[in-house]
Amino acid sequence: MRGRIAEVFDSIQGEGLYLGEKQIFVRFYGCNLECKFCDTKLKSFMEYEPDELFQELKLYQDSYHSVSFTGGEPLSQKDFLKEMLKLTRKDNFRNYLETNGVLHEELKEVIDYVDIVAMDLKLPSSTGLGDFWEEHRLFLKIASKREVFLKVVICSQSKEEDLKKALRLVRETAPEAVLVLQPDSSVDKVYLHDKLHTFKELCKKERVTACLVEQIHKVIGVR
Ligand code: SF4
């Protein structure tokens, strides 16, 4: 079985609740979605057998918080991902899965090997796509077996009514989960200031714990 991997590198986590933690990143090639704000348009990949990639990960000698399986969408190569998660878990790596939160059937098959799920909630007004509320609900239910936090990208088109639906979903499915509001990095924050403030207040009103975290790797100029 061969996996398509766009890149492997080490750096610090640039977003979400584990901001600043040192990780090894395995970026999977390919995604099942096409979000308007996507900043990871991947053009090429290398093919690996699971053990081949695992041996490469073992060359990283530093002390790392975890291995971040990211993309693209790692779950779109579920069988390969599962083999990788098993290998890293057996070798005492902590597995951190960054995912768009839609492929719930695939998640079900790998969740036992995942330690932390960093899950997106896709607002249709932000992505320019249809809605994924039902997929997100099923996904979050499974992800809640592990540590999970949620991430919502806020851009100029993001609508309050979409955030309200997302908050209801979190409250009903995983009320303990923290929601990260992440401003779209391609937009000048000045234009998002009022919206971010309004959205943060809305989270408070709807009793969902939320924080505002921008993508710090882009600010400090690391990968
Ligand atoms: S889910 Fe992530 S990788 Fe896929 S298109 Fe959307 S932003 Fe890009």
What pTM did the predictor assign? Answer: 0.95
For position 68, what pLDDT does the model report? 98
For position 125, what pLDDT does the model report? 96
CB atoms within 10 A of CB 188: 10
**32 Cβ below 6 A of ligand 1:** no
Kindly state the percentage of the chain with pLDDT values over 70.
99
The larger pLDDT score, comparing residue 215 to residue 152, is at 152
Measured between alpha carbons, how far apart are the two ends of the chain, in Å? Answer: 29
Count of all residues that appear for the chain in the document: 223
State pLDDT tens for residues 105-116. Answer: 999 999 999 999
**73 Cβ below 6 A of ligand 1:** yes
What's the whole-number average pLDDT of the chain? 94
Phi/psi for 182 (5° steps) reads -120, 110
For helices 160-173 and 189-205, give the axis angle rounded to 10 degrees: 40
DSSP 170: H
Centre of ligand 1 from the C-alpha of residue 213, in Å: 18
47 membership: H or E segment, kind and range: strand 46-48
**198 Cβ below 6 A of ligand 1:** no
Kindly state the percentage of the chain with pLDDT values over 90.
86
For position 39, what pLDDT does the model report? 81
* Residues facing 125 on adjacent strands: none
Compute the half-sphere exposure of residue 141: CA atoms within 13 Å on the CB side of its CA.
Answer: 12
For position 42, what pLDDT does the model report? 84
Task: Count Cβ neighbours within 10 Å for each residue of 74-95 and write b for 16 or more, e otherwise.
Answer: bbbbbebbbbbbbbbbeeebbb
For position 41, what pLDDT does the model report? 78
State pLDDT tens for residues 161-213. Answer: 999 999 999 999 999 999 999 998 877 777 788 999 999 999 999 999 999 99
For position 215, what pLDDT does the model report? 82
Q: Which residue segments constitute the domains of the chain, with CATH numbers given?
A: 3-220 (3.20.20.70)
State pLDDT tens for residues 115-133. Answer: 999 999 999 999 999 999 9
Q: Examine the pLDDT at 222 and tell me if it is beyond 80.
A: no
